[in-house]
Amino acid sequence: MSVEEELNLSVAYTPIQRMRHSAAHVMAEAVQDLFPGARFAIGPAIEDGFYYDMELPRPLTPDDLPAIEERMRQSIAANHPFVQSKWPREKALEYFKQRDQPYKVEIIENLPDAEVGIYQQGPFLDLCRGPHVASTGEIGAVKLLRVAGAYWRGDEHRPMLQRLYGTAWFTQEELDAYLERLEEARRRDHRKIGKDLDLFMISDEIGAGLPLWLPKGATVRRLLEDYIVGVERAQGYQHVYTPNLAKLDLYKTSGHWEHYQDSMYPPMEMESGEELVLRPMNCPHHIQIYKQKMRSYRDLPIRIAELGTMYRLEKSGELAGLSRVRAMTLNDAHIFCTPEQMLGEFIGVVRLVQETYKVMGFENYSYRLSLRDPNDKVKFEQNEEMWQRSEAALRQALDQLGLSYYEGIGDAAFYGPKLDVQVANVLGKDETISTIQLDFTLPEKFNLEYIGEDGQAHRPVMIHRGILSTMERFMAFLIENYAGNFPVWLAPVQAVVIPIADRHAGYANQVAAALNAAGLRVEVDGRSERMNAKVRDAQMQKVPYMLVVGDKEAESNAVSLRLRTNENIGAVPLADFVAQASQLNASRSRDLWPSVAASAQ
């Protein structure tokens, strides 16, 4: 969050944000008490908590946090009132200069107001527009969480400050519940699980933000890709391959260079004088495919799909496993249709999203109608008629579907409004997985046409849509959502055959061959470890089925079935296991076994 955002957003704080913002001031008071030379920057409320950026005589360590918390509790117990006042700019500048607070001085120098807001609680005085709670005693249960680095004003050329994060809740019970959610999120962290299950890795030699998909992770990705390509083909999508590079001029025409340049890699100049860029989006490439020949209204709608790799210039500090990367493959598609077909095509995409979420087991999701901010003349294309037309069309589609939705002002793409499908993550926070964007702008920029029934040229409408998001981000979400317990059809290894003794290895290989012949993914654990150790290791790898085989199983052509949930199903005829596991696999069921509900996994 920038300084400007913190100063502007603080005036719209909700009651809990107001309390958290007040907690940030109390935290700064405690830090100043413990570190008299502290220099403070900004301290806003954020989602679920607050932070304060500061320059301290030494780096903070986790051992410092209990002492800061204790000083905060003393201030809260003292019930100091938050006293607001207005100071002339010159008085405020002089005050903070005398106290060696250069970041406050810089903030004041960049404010246009003749007066600035000041808040004081007890001995601590700070530059702030507020609002705050009436007194420190109204601050509820607090907990300091961690320390991170943050460049002043987000500029890597400016000083690196220490950012101290905390959280505050009205009651101790709310705080305890939140801390338990944080702990559960740590247990489910896709970076940890991805490493434990050998799904992906990041190599320093290759570079940050450029993940390597290991065999098991690549298996899951391939299954996801096979699924989405299959359902797209069934709905008339035509799949293409397009290059990861393009001329810079293409993105100047599309508007990406104007609106998205900060997230694009610098152009590469060729010996011919051409400038090529790594593509940040696939849509201009698909537009060229549409333009390869004149289209008739009889050809429309044309649905062009691609698992297209894109590149984003992300800062190193913002990279995170698979969820924030520099190279990503989007489950992308663009629909070119007539205005009369637009509503039906949009509704068809929404239904495809719903079908996919049912397969994935997503139940807790909502719809955000992402609109432009009419006051932002830089981020969005300036075409009032286009925005009114496209936003009205989206509302009509949502009303026809009978969907409840909320509006996100300023969340639209630069070229048009969109419907974002928000899925709750393990912390209960919404993440955008699927997006459907309505676009009248790019067809105009690229002069797209089709010949209508009247024999005249007409402008098509574009619908941009991504169902699974990028494969990287979707994989990160799935790992955390399932806690690594992929449903049978997605599990990289679906069964491990465990011979009790060396003499059972031959039958174990026969069992594996039968599963392989049925299209199931199976391994044989022929190590000289004890059987229980092999079962435990397979459970740690979250393999759905452990098939223990010994003399009795070999004699009866059966397997002793154990589940990753630690349930011992017992002896099952091999043919019956193959049939049941194959049915669960083919149907993409989320059930582990007929007697075990998905919620138990």
- Residue 26 · residue 139 · CB < 8 Å: yes
Is the same domain home to 380 and 297? yes
Q: Are residues 354 and 448 in the same domain?
A: yes
Helix (H) or strand (E) holding 167, with range, is strand 160-169
For 60, list phi and psi in degrees, rounded to 5. -75, 150
Output the pTM of the full model.
Answer: 0.86
Residues 477 and 513 in one domain: no
Q: Give the closest residue to 260 by CA, choosing from 270, 250, 273.
A: 250
Within 8 A by CB and 6+ apart from 380, the residues are 372, 373, 387, 412, 414
Is residue 365 assigned to a domain?
yes
pLDDT level of residue 12 (50, 70, 90 thresholds)? low
Kindly state the tokens that stand for 484.
């690594």
Q: Are 316 and 208 in contact (CB under 8 A)?
A: yes
Q: What is the CATH number of the domain that holds 287?
A: 3.30.930.10
95 and 21 in a common domain: yes
* Whether 451 and 309 share a structural domain: yes
User: What residues contact 66, with CB distance under 8 A and at least 6 apart?
Assistant: none
In a domain? residue 197 = no
- Say whether both 68 and 141 belong to one domain: yes
For residue 376, which of 259, 283, 463, 464 has the smallest C-alpha distance? Answer: 259
Length of the chain: 601
Is residue 488 within 8 Å of residue 498, measured between CB atoms?
no
> E strands, 248-301, where?
268-269, 275-278, 295-296
Q: How many angstroms from the chain centroid is the CA of residue 399?
A: 27
Q: Is the pLDDT reported for residue 237 higher than 50?
A: yes
Asked whether residue 320 is domain-assigned, the answer is yes
β-strand partners of 296: 451
The answer to whether 356 and 466 have CB atoms below 8 angstroms apart is no
Residues 504 and 446 in one domain: no
598 pLDDT band, cuts 50/70/90, is low
CATH number, residue 40: 3.30.980.10
Contact 314, 326 (CB under 8 A): yes
202, part of any domain: no
**Residues of the domain holding 443:** 219-481
Residue 294, in any domain of the structure: yes
User: Of the given ranges (7-16, 71-80, 446-455, 461-470), which has the lowest mean pLDDT?
Assistant: 7-16
Angle between helices 384-401 and 339-360 in degrees, nearest 10: 50
Task: Give, in degrees to the nearest 5, the angle at Cα 329 between 323 and 331.
Answer: 100
- Assess whether pLDDT exceeds 50 at residue 187: yes
Q: 241 and 155 share a domain?
A: no
* Cβ contact 42:52 at 8 Å: yes
Q: 338 and 400: one domain?
A: yes
237 and 139, same structural domain? no
pLDDT band at 35 (very low <50, low <70, confident <90, very high): very high
| 357 and 388 part of one domain | yes
Of 136, 168, 187, which closes a domain?
Answer: 187
Establish if 206 belongs to a structural domain: no
Question: Is pLDDT at 452 greater than 50 in this prediction?
Answer: yes
Pairing between β-strand 124-127 and β-strand 115-121 as defined by DSSP bridges:
antiparallel
Residue 282's contacts (CB-CB under 8 Å, 6 or more residues apart) are: 242, 306, 308, 310, 330, 332, 334
**Of all residues in the chain, what percent carry a pLDDT higher than 90?**
80
Task: Quickly state the pLDDT bin for 463 (edges 50, 70, 90).
Answer: very high
Mean per-residue pLDDT over the chain, rounded: 92
Residue 4 has pLDDT above 50, yes or no: no
Q: Which residue has the higher pLDDT, 104 or 415?
A: 104
Give the CATH number of the domain where residue 555 resides. 3.40.50.800
Which residues does residue 149 pair with via DSSP β-bridges, in sequence order? 162
pLDDT tens-digit series, residues 284-320: 999 999 999 999 999 999 999 999 999 999 988 788 9
214 vs 223: CA distance, rounded Å: 14
Q: Is residue 490 part of a domain?
A: no
Among 425, 448, 481, where does a domain finish? 481
Count up the domains in the chain and report the number: 3
Q: Is residue 44 part of a domain?
A: yes
Burial class (CB in 10 A: 0-12, 13-18, 19+), 444: middle
The reported pLDDT for the residue numbered 597 is 55
Phi/psi for 188 (5° steps) reads: -95, 0
Tell me, what's the pLDDT at 259?
A: 85
Q: pLDDT, tens digit, for every residue of 540-581?
A: 999 999 999 999 999 999 999 999 999 999 999 999 999 999
Last residue of a domain, one of 452, 481, 510: 481
> Most distant CA pair in the chain: distance in Å?
93
Give me the pLDDT at residue 6, please.
45
β-bridge mates for residue 245, sequence order: 278
% of the chain with per-residue pLDDT over 70: 97
Statement to judge: residues 262 and 359 lie in one domain = yes
* More confident: 386 or 545: 545
Give residue 8's pLDDT band: very low, low, confident or very high (50, 70, 90): very low
